Structures are given as C-alpha cells and as structure tokens.
Amino acid sequence: MSLSWPVDCELGTDCYIQQYVDHDPSQAAHDFTCSSLTYDGHKGTDIALPTLAALNHDVTVLAAADGVVLGIRNNMPDQLFTEDTAATVKGRECGNGIVLEHDDGWVTQYCHMKQGSISAQRGQRIERGEPLGLVGLSGKTQFAHLHLSVRKDGEVVDPFTPNTFGECGVDSKTLWDVSIPYQAGGLIASGFASAIPTLADIRAGQADEAPIPASAPALVFWTYIFGGRTGDVVSLHIQGPAGEFLDTATTLTKTQAQLFRAGGKKRRNETWPAGDYIGTAQLVRNGEILDTQRYEMTLPSE
C-alpha cells in the first residue's frame, strides 16, 4: 500500500500537519516520534489550512490511492463545533466525508469536508489523485482541515510508521510515496494590528490589519503558533523606519496545540512614522530555531 498526498496544498506554505495518530494506549498521548502533536485516541492525520478564510479558496481533497467508494456523507453544515452544535454532530463527528476501499483490506477515510463538495457516488471506482471534494469545517472540528484515517483489516495504521504502533523512532518506512518531513511545531501566520487581536480573529483570518492607520492607537505584531511546548521561546522583533522598534521574547509555560503571542507599543505621538516596518517571529526549542516568519508593512506618508 502506498499513499499520495491527499490535499492540493504545499506543506509548510499553505497547509501544515496539526495532529498525528496517537501511539499511546493509555490516557496520555504521543505521536510516532514520542512528541506531543496528537491527543488521546486520535486515529488519523490532520492536514490543516492556516485560517478559516482559506476555505474560500476551495482547497481540493485528493484520493490517496486507487479505490472504490464505500460510503459518503455530504449534507452537514460547515461550522465551528461548539456546545450548541454537539447534539447535531453526535455520531457524525467525521462530518462530511468519503470512505474508499482498497486492495488487501486497506481503507482510507476523509473527514470534515465542505458541504455539498463531494461528487463521487457509492460504488464508483476512484483513481489515485482524483478530486474527491473540498476541505471544509464540518463535524467535530474547530479548525479547517482534512482528517485522513488509514485502516488495514479494521485496525488503525499510522501512515508514517505502518509497521509499528506504540513505539517511537524505530520504523523509518512510511506509506507515503513522497517524503513528508516531520515538523514538531511551527508558525502558521503572522501580521500587524492596531491592538492585540483575539485568537478567534486570528483563526478566522481577520487579525491582520496591515497597513494600519498612521493614527492607530497601537502598533502590534502577532504570530500564530501550532505545536507549542512548555519551555519553547517565542521571539517577536519589529524593525521600524527609525531602527529597532520592538524586541521581545516569552517562554511558553504549557504545551498547547494552537496559541498566539503578540507585542507592540501604544502611540505616544500624533501619528506613527511613515516607512517600512518589518516584523520577524521565531519559535525556538532547546536552543534551536524551529520556524521563522518575516512580514513587512509600509505606512505611507500623509
């Protein structure tokens, strides 16, 4: 069995892997590297879009291998999972999706797809790389992503370590037909704002205000992070038209799947100086840089 990348996106640019299969049989959780990019009982690989706004780009879900359609659900709304929607999602946590049967007892399942986007029919033969539908926000989810599950004879298989389960770093063979590097955490997006944004606005893709008005009450640079661990250091730096504007670093005190950090200054003069403002964010773990993002904003002269 071999699998092709199932989303029409470039990993590390316009999508990222938020969660892997849980290899820990206890109530704790760890992924195939013994790291924390999973949660208890997670049975698939979550390929995430950077924000909810990315759903407007209609990102295509692709068949990972040749197969036959076993089942489809296509009528659930795209909405954030909340306590108010829990009852309607119960028993349908996968949301809209499609199940493909492959040779020799292999099955793949594609979850959280966009309502009405699946055009295949039950019993239809599908070829590897064929479009199945679109990434969505249906079912039990609070971020836009495709959840891909792989099973062999009814048992969960981690495509990154198909021959071992519950062990770490002992199996270098994967089911993927391309090299997929493991990223233990990283920066999803960064931007400028006139106040510290909310996590909800960042997730929605509505937090970046660049270029901010010259009369904005504050000038803030923020960064959105996945896979943050206790002890990680998040640094934020702004180089302004007059030189260094901001240089700050914070150490994370807990492990979180998603989080953000922001820093800036309140306006003391009539307007912010015109010119280029270059924001740089870094995520550092154990003294090594995991990820860096650079974002530039130009304030025009009035």
Residue type, 108: T
Mean pLDDT calculated for residue range 167-175:
77
Q: Structure tokens of 282? A: 């870094």
Rounded Cα distance between 23 and 88, Å, is 30
Model-level pTM? 0.93
Query: What is the tens place of the pLDDT at every residue in 81-121?
Result: 999 889 999 999 999 999 999 999 999 999 999 999 998 99
Identity of residue 29: A
Distant-in-sequence, close-in-space partners of 150: CB < 8 Å, separation ≥ 6: 3, 44, 106, 107, 108, 156, 157, 158, 159, 162, 175
Beta bridge partners of 240: 243
Q: State the average pLDDT over residues 49-66.
A: 97
Contacts for 212-218: CB closer than 8 Å, 24+ residues apart? 212/272, 212/297, 212/299, 214/271, 214/272, 214/274, 214/299, 214/300, 214/302, 215/267, 215/270, 215/271, 215/272, 216/267, 216/272, 217/266, 217/267, 218/194, 218/264, 218/265, 218/266, 218/267
Copy the structure tokens of residue 294: 């650079």
Amino acid at 250: T
Query: How many Å separate Cα 258 from the centre of its chain?
Result: 9
Span of 57-61, 219-223, 268-272 with lowest mean pLDDT: 268-272
Predicted confidence band of residue 258 (pLDDT cuts 50, 70, 90): very high
Query: Can you list the alpha helix ranges (DSSP code H) found in the chain?
Result: 86-89, 199-204
Distance between CA atoms of residues 198 and 174, nearest Å: 38
